[in-house]
Amino acid sequence: MAVLKATDRGNHFNLMRLAFACLVIVAHGPEIVHGDRSREPLTMMFGTLSFGDLAVDGFFLLSGYLIVKSWTRRPDWAAFLAARARRILPGFFVASLLCAFVVGPLGGGADYFEQFALSAFGWSLLTLAQPAIPPVFDGTYYPLVNGSVWTIIHEVRCYLAVLLFGVLGGFRLRFAWLAATVVCVLFFLLARFDAWPLPGTSGQHMARFFMLFGVGGCFWLYGRALLARSSLVLPASLLFVIALSMPQWAEIGVALFGGFLFLHIAVREATSLAWFNRLPDLSYGVYLYAWPITKLLLWCWPGLTAPVVTAITLAASLAAGALSWFLVERPFMNQRTRTPAYRPDHVTDTP
């Protein structure tokens, strides 16, 4: 049985989150170059999910675990909202501003600023949406300035669900969160099998992310002893691989079996990799800047191959993630109010 450590620093969350952010780059490289997923590595293996899908699912599973943990350790709505806002908003705002006023002009037409609508852009900032700017990267596949940020608003909705659930006293009921998660799983399954179609793409994404986030929270509330059982790794891995080959069940497999595997690794005591938790958390910045970096590379050098684009984007995104961490994210996180009752999480909790 694996030995687990109760402290915040004795884990692999930082490593897992950076790995997921890099997997998104691995998935997006071939897709953006070729215009479809046919040459994306995981899609080629299983024909269901891409590494990007898997990584985003992993983010939500880890986030569900950490955010539910955060609320149950300090059920204070004001502190909860402040901590989440400090973590997610500064990085998002700065990335959006750079996309609008640096990346946009480089990839837009000569009349870019003449078409720029400040009110529309401001609203996209407030709603945590794709930056509302004039057309960019015309004539390329996926002509978006930042095609990764669409998940941020779903993450925030999951945070608000935890807040509402906690304020209403749901966490005082032993199986309330588990019951709510089961309902989310059923909604997702009904939608997947077309028994209860959900409205629009956004509704389908919400069902998927609430399910994943809910499962992550369940592992914190009810499954920590389960996560310590190394004997379950092999059967969970087999079921995970089987599920990945079944289009209707792939996401369920990621939620249940992938959730166990990801969190089993994440909560294990950091031994030989303990040094990694002393490094800055670059994952959020890497996630925010990888897409615009890839698009700019292909805009300036359209003949680059997918492996070359992926390698350059990985290196450049790590550098951008470091700048984002030191100049934007960490200064705001350091403003949190510390009280004796507050035990700050070492790891961050958003993609």
Contacts (Cβ under 8 Å, ≥6 apart) of 10: 4, 269, 270, 274
Q: Is it the case that residue 5 has pLDDT exceeding 90?
A: no
pLDDT at 199: 61
**pLDDT band at 203; cut points 50, 70, 90:** confident
Give the mean pLDDT of 337-344: 40
pLDDT at 342: 35
**pLDDT band at 81; cut points 50, 70, 90:** very high
> How far apart, in whole angstroms, are the C-alpha atoms of residue 299 and residue 139?
10
Which of the residue ranges 63-77, 104-118, 259-273 would you say has the lowest mean pLDDT? 259-273
Domain ranges of the chain: 13-333
> How far apart, in whole angstroms, are the C-alpha atoms of residue 265 and residue 234?
13
Q: Residue 291's closest CA among 33, 66, 87?
A: 33
Q: Give the DSSP letter string of 8-61.
A: SSSS-HHHHHHHHHHHHHHHHHHHHHHSSSTT-HHHHHHSS--HHHHHHHHHHH
> How far apart, in whole angstroms, are the C-alpha atoms of residue 348 and residue 282?
10
336 Rama class: left (phi>0) / alpha (psi -120 to 50) / beta: beta
Average pLDDT along the chain: 90
pLDDT at 10: 66
* pTM of the predicted model as reported, rounded to 2 decimal places: 0.92
**pLDDT band at 1; cut points 50, 70, 90:** very low
Give the mean pLDDT of 59-83: 97
Distances (CA, A) of 344 to 50, 172, 189, 213, 317: 34, 22, 36, 20, 27
Which of the residue ranges 262-271, 306-315, 332-341 would you say has the lowest mean pLDDT? 332-341
> How far apart, in whole angstroms, are the C-alpha atoms of residue 79 and residue 81?
6
**What backbone torsions phi and psi does residue 223 show, to the nearest 5 degrees?**
-120, 20
